[in-house]
Structure 1
Amino acid sequence: MRALVTGGAGYLGSHTVTTLLDAGHDVLVLDSLAGAGRAGLERAAEVCGVELGDARLRLVVADIRRPEDWADEVVAWAPDAVVHFAGLKSPTESMASPAEYYSVNVGGTAYVAEAAVRAGARTLLFSSSATVYGDRAPVPVAESAPIDPVSPYGRSKAMAEQVLTDVHAASPELSVASLRYFNPVGAHPSGRMGEDPQGTPANLMPFVSRVASGAYPELTVFGADFATRDGSAVRDFIHVMDLAEAHVAALEWMAARPSEEAGVRVWNIGRGEGVTVFEMVRAFEEVTGRPVPFTVGGRRAGDIAESCADVGAVARDVGWRARRDVREMVRDLWAWQQAEQEGHGGP
């Protein structure tokens, strides 16, 4: 299979590129490199034993909002499938820059879908988010839960899903699937690839890792008075390699079926098990042997007590389930953190 991966140099995209290559597929990456640079993609090539720029892994550097800079090259490459990661991803940032989020996440998706149809692709997977469910969905959250996003980021993901549904209606030869991620964490088991947020990490796991390494003095746990088993918030964490494997499994499942059977699909991607913030802190301490000092602060605006996926649909349809547990998430993230600290080819 020939796959176009937009945003393939980023955290989720680069890990999915490695999984596609390992499965024998060829990949064309479309990425502006504004968020991640080339390092993630270069390392993906390294761990898979290929050369960036050869027949198996190519890169087009362009902004998805400027199809005049990339669409003809994509059409000429004639991908069988498209995996669309490219987009902006901070709910907090989206509150301050809503127009930019709609431009990239909605307008960009429309351009990618249009190019996919022109290129004759049969399948498009979209990188969506559990944020489309909003704050009031019942737990565990099933795909049938109402859509009620509370930020421009979440609304942009929901709108992009609708764009793809409409594109399929107009061009039924292109089947589409929206994968609603919960909380991807961890790193490639080689220790050569992982999440490298610029500045202060907004997500729990990268921040905890930096506290364990001594880069930050302590973690602030936002809220310890939730109605959960230990008072801290519960989240459904999934190893990034499980998420990458979910994409390959979904692509291969969709590709094996006529477009009218594959149609439009929506799948939650998570482990289907919640982990509290305090449980994650203890897991870091147990796996790494390092202390993770923390203080308890107040809840952040919009934080909810519990978020956990119902993953029955993707298991029934595709036969995929997450395989890696919390200890493996911590182990692989810590290996990446240590390798970067020691200067093993850090960007």
Structure 2
Amino acid sequence: MMPAASPVRQIVFAVAPHLVLLDACGPLEAFWRAELEMRQACRSADGEPVAYRTRVASIEGGTLPTHVGLPVVVERLDALDDEPIDTVIVAGTFECDRMVLDPKLVQWLEHAAPRIRRVCSVCVGAFYLAAAGLLDGRRATTHWRSADELARNFPSIEVDADPIFIRDVHDGRAVWTSAGVTAGIDLALALIEEDFGHAIAMQAARRLVVFMKRPGGQSQFSATLDVQHGAAGEFDALHAWMATNLRDDLSVDRLADHARMSARTFARRYVEAVGRTPGKTVEALRLEAAARALAQSRRPMKRIALDCGFGTEQNLRRAFVRRFGVPPLSYRDRFAPLTAGGEQGKRDRAGPT
């Protein structure tokens, strides 16, 4: 049975040797920035925490090596067994080839999870949750490079390599998994929002100079980088031209003409080189540009639809809902940065309601 919720939420980072430092430090900073915001709202400058108490602990405790060579001093996990833990976050470790798990950390998670309200992972920390049986029958993500291994080793999990993070609710219990490295910050901001609301989360993001709090449904991949990598250089010049001419006619015939090929030859060679049709690439580039415009500007929807090549607001809305699961204005309302004159800034400066 879970303990009664405490006004101050204790967040425990469960870590292992060769910790990926940013997997823990990024979320730690986010929680601390939220703590500062909550102290300001409560007019409590110093002293005991008012929102979060964070701990970093491993099985052995003491000095823990990290993959960048900077050792950190951590507590022992078993020293926290009698304390109320609200959230545990398993940070990732650096593995060049294949994940090797610490069985004692897996056992600790199996034992501790039933009394913890919220269990999360960053990057390949998902392997620990999986080994402890905490992801069975759930949808989960991890760093895209490790997704196939996670799916292969734990076939009961629905592994989705695309999202930044996933909140999966099963039998009334939510388990959170995130992609690699900086995605841990996005995860932490989402947890803060769940705990204390949108305004506090966005103020924490502002303190971190994170200009856009990415949604869980946003891809780990940049459309521009993805097509460049897939094409192995053959269509780099074409992709650069496409990205700067999104509002123009980007039909197969026009692209083939720009590439100086027949339409049939171009379509065949493009799929062979990039792994998707030209039309899919055009839509991905346009959606990425529209998402960036929505998050970083207050331009009208009609103007964004024209500038990004969708023609009409209706076309933009359909494509956006199909890809991100939310309409464009909802995306902007939730993920736009704080600006001096924008409505988002006005709401957040007013503080929590």
Shorter-normalised TM range? 0.3 to 0.5
> TM-score of the superposition, structure 2-length normalised?
0.37
User: Which one has the bigger helix percentage?
Assistant: 2
> TM-score of the superposition, structure 1-length normalised?
0.38
Q: Which has the higher contact order (CA 8 A, sep 6+)?
A: 1
